[in-house]
Amino acid sequence: MVGWRTYKKMKFMVAVLLVMVFYQNCGPSFTTKVSSQLSSEDSLQTTKLSLEKRIVPLDSDQYVNSLQKFLVSSVDVTSLKTLSRPFERPNPARFSTDKTLVTVTDSDIEKAWSMAEFVAGKVASSTFLAKQNCLSLGDTSASCLNGLVSSWSKKVFHSNLTPAELAIYHKVLTDGNIHIPSPQEAFTGMLVAMLMSPRLVYRQEVGDSTGKLTSFEIANFLAYTLTDNPPDAELMLAADNNSLLDEVEREKQTRRLLSQLDTNSKLLKFFREYFLYSTMDSTKDLAQFPKFDFPAAVKDTDSLVQYLLKNNSDKDFWKQLMSTNKISVSTKSAPFYGLTGTYATQTIRDAPDQRVGLLTQPSWLVHFTKDDDNYAIGRGLYIRESILCGELPKREIDAIPALPIDDTMTLREKMEITTSKSCNECHAKMNPLGLAYQFFDHFGRYRVTEAGQPVDAKGALDGTGDQDGDFNNHQDMMRKLASSQTTEACFLAHSLQFWLGGSVRPGLAASQLQTYIDVYDKNGGNFKEVIIKMVSSPEAIQRVDAGGQ
């Protein structure tokens, strides 16, 4: 049994390791900070979250959602969705919300401009056709123009701009002459400028003179963080009233937004990105499994996550994720599980084939496969880094020997070449974890033999501190991982990283994490309570100068 003090310190170190991985490009100064904290007993106490003043680029979903809300015609919405999406991050450093590494590319600007032109044109056209603003009625008075700029800037930016800031868009509207070539064109230009503005592309978290986010910054922060959408009317009303400066109101708004999201795209986005199950790099020979349908596998996992969120998010959620024996199945995916028959919709049922938790979902398994075999090293590396928050020793690799091509050999036998002295220091931390899944083939189907031999999925788990030890198969290992407080802390650390973006300050993240571990524990493993705490607490809306405390 691990003592409480040891447990706390262990969790701290886990988080530190996570942060070290996360900030491995931050330079040696960070290592110094971490060492300093490890030697300080005080550092084990809870430290408040500390976020830098920052501008946060919208991701693709957020930008498109922000533009889409201006379209009233479903045809136009469909057309918008056919345009190339800007700000997509196919290979984020870890999460799409990791803002520290995101920069706008030339391609982003081109795509965003096309979208902005499209939306602005549609809005201007419908507005003028319906004569919905003063300019469309022929009024070019100063009050009309000022009102247009002011009202539209608020619709687009969801904040009140200063006169100097408004002047920028006023100028676009009135440059040269409001009649050149037409008032509608002038209005269109103003909208394009707003929809392309860095003020929209980058959400501001700068705060007032004390670093506390302004009411509108909070509204944008909550809305985009929780929903990937701009603030809705209720949130804007709260922003206008300055009530979002009050923690009770923020929590209320956060709960409201989360409650609307039982099939939450943002929650789902987190799980997709954390478990990496929605993408597949390998090419499969469908002659081996004609009914293989990867999108159906992803849909199964999405459905299972949504089921767990709906039914189990308030109690030991992490454990449920890692050890559930439920699956979600459809007609297309039934063959993955050795099932037959038809399913009208995604159906939740007990797994028929020894599956335990999300890491035995076909989608996750297939993500970590090669064209013709499992990718046990990849699976092991993922678990080491993303489930255990561990890391590999940093070693230069001279050459990577290819695994033998021999249908009579099991993958474990082929991977023997990775256990030489020079390789084993790293592979010992990956291979046992990855080989635990050998009861599944590279299509994610359960099996009992491999290369004509009984499957050997035995191994030993280390790095949990509280659940280390031998396991017989993936079920054993998954249950150990599910029960580990280390993996639970690691999950919450990743949550913190996802929900608050990547600029949690190095050196402080470990102690910050303790706050959320406490919330999670106090609420019986309620994941949504942790999210609420993460985004609505006073620390969540406080920003500090870069490099400051």
Partner 1 sequence: MSKLQRDRRLFLKHLGVGAGALVFNPFLDRLFLEAHAQSVSQQKLIIFYMNAQPYMGNPAGEFLPKGINFDIQQGKNYSNATAIPITKMVAGDWPTLMAPMAPFFQNSLVVEGVFHGAHSDPGVVQHGMRYAGLNGICGLAGGDSVAMKANPSIPHGPTIDQIIAGGPSGQGVTHSSVLVGLANSDYSWEKTYTEETLACFASGANSPVPYLSRTRALERKLFGQDFIDGKNLSVSDAGVKTARRLRVMDALKTDVVNLERNISSEYKDKLNVFLSSLDTYDKKKMAEASISCKPSAPSALAAGSAPEDELLGLVDGATLALQCGLTNVVGIGSGVERKHSTDIGFRRNVDAKVNNRWFEGVVSPSGTDPFYNADWNYHSYDAAWKEGNQRVVKFYVSLLARMLENLSGKRGVMPANTTVIFLSDRGMSSGGNHHGFNGTNGRQPIYIWSTNPALKAQANYIRYPTYSQYGRWKNFHALSDFYRTFAMAFGVNLPNFGVYGGRVLNEILS
- The binding site for partner 1 (CB under 8 A) comprises 52-55, 57, 102-106, 108-110, 113, 117, 164-165, 168-169, 171-172, 174-177, 179-183, 185, 188-189, 192-193, 196-199, 201-202, 204, 206, 545-547
3-class SS string, 491-537: HHHHHHHHHHCCCECCCCHHHHHHHHHHHHHHCCCCHHHHHHHHHHC
Query: Least distance (Å) from partner 1 to the CB of residue 98?
Result: 13
Query: Least distance (Å) from partner 1 to the CB of residue 202?
Result: 7
Query: Least distance (Å) from partner 1 to the CB of residue 174?
Result: 6
Alpha-carbon gap, residue 194 to 120, rounded angstroms: 9
Alpha-carbon gap, residue 9 to 29, rounded angstroms: 22
Q: Output 164 or 287, the one with its CB closest to partner 1.
A: 164
Q: Output 2 or 168, the one with its CB closest to partner 1.
A: 168
DSSP 136-178: GGT---HHHHHHHHHHHHHHHHSSPPPHHHHHHHHHHHHSS-T
Q: Output 72 or 180, the one with its CB closest to partner 1.
A: 180
Query: Least distance (Å) from partner 1 to the CB of residue 468?
Result: 40
Q: Output 111 or 429, the one with its CB closest to partner 1.
A: 111
Query: Least distance (Å) from partner 1 to the CB of residue 147?
Result: 18
Query: Least distance (Å) from partner 1 to the CB of residue 51?
Result: 12
- Contact between residue 226 and residue 253 where contact means Cβ atoms under 8 Å apart: no
Q: Which residues contact 342 (CB under 8 A, 6 or more apart)?
A: 331, 334
Among 59, 93, 92, smallest CA distance to 224 is for: 59
Q: Which residues contact 148 (CB under 8 A, 6 or more apart)?
A: 133, 134, 135, 173, 187, 190
- Contact between residue 221 and residue 205 where contact means Cβ atoms under 8 Å apart: yes
Q: Output 185 or 462, the one with its CB closest to partner 1.
A: 185
Q: Output 188 or 215, the one with its CB closest to partner 1.
A: 188
Query: The tokens of 431 are what?
Result: 């291979």
Q: Output 109 or 392, the one with its CB closest to partner 1.
A: 109
Q: Output 183 or 432, the one with its CB closest to partner 1.
A: 183
Q: Quote the crossing angle between the two packed helices 294-312 and 265-275, to the nearest 10°.
A: 120
Alpha-carbon gap, residue 477 to 474, rounded angstroms: 5
Query: Least distance (Å) from partner 1 to the CB of residue 502?
Result: 11
Which amino acid is it at 273? E
Query: Least distance (Å) from partner 1 to the CB of residue 182?
Result: 5
User: β-strand 543-544 against 51-52: which pairing, if any?
Assistant: parallel
Query: Least distance (Å) from partner 1 to the CB of residue 112?
Result: 9
Query: Least distance (Å) from partner 1 to the CB of residue 515?
Result: 25
Q: Output 48 or 179, the one with its CB closest to partner 1.
A: 179
Query: Least distance (Å) from partner 1 to the CB of residue 104?
Result: 5
Query: Least distance (Å) from partner 1 to the CB of residue 166?
Result: 11
Q: Output 55 or 286, the one with its CB closest to partner 1.
A: 55
Q: Output 157 or 499, the one with its CB closest to partner 1.
A: 157
Query: Least distance (Å) from partner 1 to the CB of residue 92?
Result: 15
Q: Which residues contact 484 (CB under 8 A, 6 or more apart)?
A: 464, 465, 466, 467
E-assigned strands of 3-64?
51-52, 54-57
- Contact between residue 361 and residue 444 where contact means Cβ atoms under 8 Å apart: yes
Q: Output 193 or 376, the one with its CB closest to partner 1.
A: 193
Long-range CB contacts for residues 39-46, cutoff 8 Å, separation at least 24: 43/12, 43/510, 43/511, 44/8, 44/9, 44/12, 44/511, 45/511, 45/514, 46/511, 46/512, 46/514, 46/515, 46/518
Among 356, 370, 365, smallest CA distance to 474 is for: 356
Reported residue count of the chain is 549
Alpha-carbon gap, residue 429 to 468, rounded angstroms: 13
Q: Output 183 or 231, the one with its CB closest to partner 1.
A: 183
DSSP-based three-state secondary structure for 364: helix
Alpha-carbon gap, residue 301 to 171, rounded angstroms: 50
